[in-house]
Amino acid sequence: MISTATITSLGHKGEGLAEIDGHKVFVPLALPGERVEIEFEGDRGTLLGVMAPAENRIEPFCPHFGACGGCQLQHLDRPSYEAFKIGLIETPLRFAGIELPVSRFIDAAGDGRRRATLHARQEGVGYMRLRSHQVHDIDFCPILVPGLAKAPDIARAVFQAVGDADVSIVASLSGLDVAIRTEKKQARHDRVAPLVARFKLARLALNGEMVLQAQPPIVEMGRARVELPIGCFLQATAAAENLLADYVVNALDRKAKTVADLFCGLGPFALRLAEKLPVRAFDNDKPSIAALDLARRHAKGLREVTAKAQDLFREPLTQYELNYDFLVLDPPRSGAEAQVREIAKSKVTTVVMAACDPRTFARDAAILVAGGYTMSDLVALDQFTQSTHVEMAATFRR
């Protein structure tokens, strides 16, 4: 059905919200205040035209915007963009009973995203289209670091070798680290191995197994150099990792003597905290724990880092095990409810929590506040630029 409507607000997915005959309709690419023509079915609308554009509408910087689903906010001016992302953080906190404004909005884009996953399909190579499982073919992506300029070419070559695949590429200090995921039976190692020489890759993996490694992919974390395990988690931008680490280190109380890093991953916080104090580090990913331990042993000027593989979702550290002055945790999108409930019952003096999902962050923050902590210095870090994702961190003190 085709109709004209006025956009009243912006939903948390960056879609304009209109009301037609008493029903809410979500319209991607539309902005509050705009009079638009849309085609809709149920609550899903498609923008056909903007009859009266909003004052905060700007020209997108990427020609793929609007078709590619990788970005949702390139048409929004900077003040409105920042306000939208701040709202993503503050609104769930308000619903959780916490009235604390974001104190700083930090641009964490740096040189761009250092990792990307491109989908290689018959219809092309790129990211999924808006509201679709079809791929929008791209020749470049302006939000990636320059070192990933060849990412579309690499993904096309992967498709030629094995057919449909998802191709994850990380720009490391020693070259590109490429990991291929595919269900195609013709995906043999010998079909993709030539790509290492062709594109001068550091490493190539297929379905979690290493095909060929010219040199270990390396990233720097403070004074340490960390070898990346295949398929490991890495912050989207190097700038965001550095800014988050600075936040954590600056929150460290001078009187603190015992420190732990929960959901430590490769150790971006643990390795920097170890420049000051010994650190206990925990994560359920064994390859990341091994990489952290290796990096610490080869780094100079660090205190001891004791890294342990432990599933903190099923086996959280209990209130009796949390004998630390300072804790930092950066859980995945699902949050850390079980672990946070134990922290709330503990005597830990200071907790820094980083997160990438505002809703689970608000839930976990409310548990800490109910347990007697005071929440402060709430910051937003914008590393997922032009998308509806946002990173956040806050300090909790007894």
Catalytic residues: 356
Interatomic CA distance for residues 396 and 327, integer angstroms: 10
Interatomic CA distance for residues 177 and 190, integer angstroms: 18
Q: Give the tokens for residue 304.
A: 């001891």
Helix (H) or strand (E) holding 351: strand 350-355
Q: Give the tokens for residue 373.
A: 């902590």
Contact 178, 161 (CB under 8 A): no
Helices (H), 49-188: 78-95, 151-162
| Whole-Å CA distances, 66 to 62, 70, 246, 256 | 9, 9, 36, 50
The residue written with tokens 């709330």 in the block is 344
Interatomic CA distance for residues 72 and 87, integer angstroms: 16
Interatomic CA distance for residues 380 and 398, integer angstroms: 23
What's the chain's Rg over C-alpha atoms? 23
Q: Give the tokens for residue 109.
A: 């884009």
Contact 137, 124 (CB under 8 A): yes
Q: Give the tokens for residue 84.
A: 């939208």
Interatomic CA distance for residues 361 and 162, integer angstroms: 40
Q: Give the tokens for residue 313.
A: 């979702």
Among 65, 180, 208, CA closest to 119: 180
Among 108, 113, 133, CA closest to 121: 133
